[in-house]
Amino acid sequence: MKKLISAVLALMMLLTMVSFASAESVEDVIKQAQEMTLEELIKKAIEESNGKDFYAVGNSSRGKSAIPKFIEAAQKIDPNYNLNFDWQQPKENRIFDQLTEDVNGSNHTFSMTLIQDGNQIKSKMLDTGILLNFVPLDWNNAEGVAREDNAQPLALQTLNKVFMFNNLGSKTYKNMWDFVREGEAPLFMGVNSELVGKNFLYMMTNEKYAAIAKEAYEAWDGKSPEYDKIIEEMKMDAADLGLTGENVQYGLAWVFLWCSQYNEQTDDGPICNTLVTTSAVDQCGLLVYSKLRSVEETAESSVNNITVAAYQDDYVGIGGYGYKHYLMLTKTSPLPWTSCALIAFMTTTADGFSPWGKDMGGYAPVPACMQDHSKDGQKDADGNVTDQVLFAAKNDRGYDWWLNEGKLVIEDPAYCASVSTTMSDWIDGIVNSK
């Protein structure tokens, strides 16, 4: 029995050492890779993965379109290079469990991931060491990159969800508070069906955005003693939630009213398809901007039936929120060099980012990766740009405009993680009591 126990302990120690060595190996690859150019990384990828199987998992299915472009780039260096790949897109927010099970299991499949929801990424993936961050040298050296906002973890892109309203009626939406005035029921994905929406509500209590909410409230023609009372009452809620900031009660009051009133939907596609119809008079919503690209123009539906709220010259307050897709390696990545090369390719070249950059509403940190969508609303049936503005809402004003003029609320993983423990239940309580 003693011999058996000793053998088991020895085996456990060996497995632990192998696992630790594997994790250290991936970390070592990342340290080296961060000092190498894209061409150097691709050469390392060719050595590592030619003819092998590469597995990745992502919240966006477009990764499967980026990998063939990466293979083509590698074949310019070595015409014989080939990579068998499988890009999975899990449903129902299962990606976190899938990655955890893969890293902690005895067999490791996934080399890298494209993942969203900064809150869970921080608490479940980074703090636990399940995922490892890699910042390419070419990305660091690129011009015009907001590095402090996109490097920890590395962001592939920022996507925006914006306030829109059907413009066929008599209602006006000139202020962020118009979307939470009495009687409004904005169309919005449920806060627990897509958690980036919950992160947006967390961020509204950050002083930066709470101050914008206050400024907008002071300019709102709908402010009244009733709303003043709600804002004052939020001071106590803020204290109970451990929230601080001079204007936090304004952000929290807006969140309270939003959660009390929004009309829960299952997906942004149906929200868009509803708002653009002639029967959606005086309805509004908060949804992915790029959904407008797929609207089919008919007698009953048209992009011209909606207005992007922030595009109005006299609009006041936040125009929507931005969430990010992040790229990282798994701690036990079977092909770390290939993962680093692919991440560098996707984040530093226009070709690598093109599966996402081909549509409006998705913004790469490296400006050189971006395509111009400022005249998407001026394209004819053949895709040619005309002088005539056919669909004004589709003329994307770009990330810098949305960030500064449109006042997007940008997800901060660290802040979301710091307030989610208390705020999540508070938000659920409001939503469930409707």
Per residue in 263-284, pLDDT (tens digit) is 999 999 999 999 999 999 999 9
Given a cut of 60, whether residue 250 has pLDDT beyond it is: yes
Query: Token digits for 97?
Result: 């469990």
Strands 320-330 and 112-115 turn out to be antiparallel
Do residues 38 and 138 lie in contact, with contact meaning Cβ atoms separated by under 8 Å?
Answer: yes
Given a cut of 80, whether residue 302 has pLDDT beyond it is: yes
Given a cut of 60, whether residue 8 has pLDDT beyond it is: no
Confidence of residue 383 (pLDDT cuts 50, 70, 90): confident
CA distance 194 to 210: 23
Exposure pattern of 337-373 as b/e (b: 16+ CB <10 Å)? bbbbbbbbbbbbbeebbbbbbebbbbbbbbeebbbeb
Cis omega (within 30 of 0) for bond into 153: yes
197 and 231 assigned to the same domain: yes
Question: Burial level of 90, CB count in 10 A (0-12/13-18/19+)?
Answer: middle
Q: What is the average pLDDT score of the chain?
A: 93
Given a cut of 60, whether residue 292 has pLDDT beyond it is: yes
145 and 171 assigned to the same domain: no
310 and 349 assigned to the same domain: no
The answer to whether residue 4 is domain-embedded is no
Question: pLDDT tens-digit profile of 400-429?
Answer: 999 999 999 999 999 999 999 999 999 999
The answer to whether residue 81 is domain-embedded is yes
Question: pLDDT tens-digit profile of 223-243?
Answer: 999 999 999 999 999 999 999
251 and 269 assigned to the same domain: yes
Q: What is the pLDDT of residue 24?
A: 54
The answer to whether residue 378 is domain-embedded is no
Do residues 337 and 356 lie in contact, with contact meaning Cβ atoms separated by under 8 Å?
Answer: no
272 and 191 assigned to the same domain: yes
Q: What is the pLDDT of residue 258?
A: 98
The answer to whether residue 382 is domain-embedded is no
Total domains in the fold of the chain? 2
The answer to whether residue 5 is domain-embedded is no
CATH number at residue 78: 3.40.190.10
Confidence of residue 15 (pLDDT cuts 50, 70, 90): very low
CA distance 95 to 115: 8
Q: What is the pLDDT of residue 23?
A: 43
180 and 304 assigned to the same domain: yes
279 and 428 assigned to the same domain: yes
Q: What is the pLDDT of residue 19?
A: 42
177 and 272 assigned to the same domain: yes
The arithmetic mean of pLDDT across residues 88-95, rounded, is 85
The answer to whether residue 37 is domain-embedded is yes
What is the share, in percent, of the chain residues with pLDDT greater than 90?
A: 90
Q: What is the pLDDT of residue 4?
A: 46
Cut 0.85: pTM above it:
yes
The answer to whether residue 284 is domain-embedded is yes
Question: pLDDT tens-digit profile of 139-180?
Answer: 999 999 988 889 999 999 999 999 999 999 999 999 999 999
The arithmetic mean of pLDDT across residues 45-65, rounded, is 96
Query: Token digits for 119?
Result: 């809150």
**Which residues, 6+ apart, have CB-to-CB distance to 320 below 8 Å?**
160, 161, 162, 163, 286, 289, 310, 402, 406, 408, 409
End-to-end CA distance of the chain: 63
The answer to whether residue 16 is domain-embedded is no
400 and 288 assigned to the same domain: yes
Q: What is the pLDDT of residue 193?
A: 86
Given a cut of 50, whether residue 28 has pLDDT beyond it is: yes
Q: What is the pLDDT of residue 382?
A: 81
Question: pLDDT tens-digit profile of 305-360?
Answer: 999 999 999 999 999 999 999 999 999 999 999 999 999 999 999 999 999 999 99
314 and 250 assigned to the same domain: yes
CA distance 285 to 291: 12
Q: What is the pLDDT of residue 11?
A: 47
Given a cut of 50, whether residue 303 has pLDDT beyond it is: yes
Rounded to 5 degrees, what are φ and ψ at 419? -115, -10
48 and 102 assigned to the same domain: yes
Domain that holds residue 205: 159-321+390-432
288 and 394 assigned to the same domain: yes
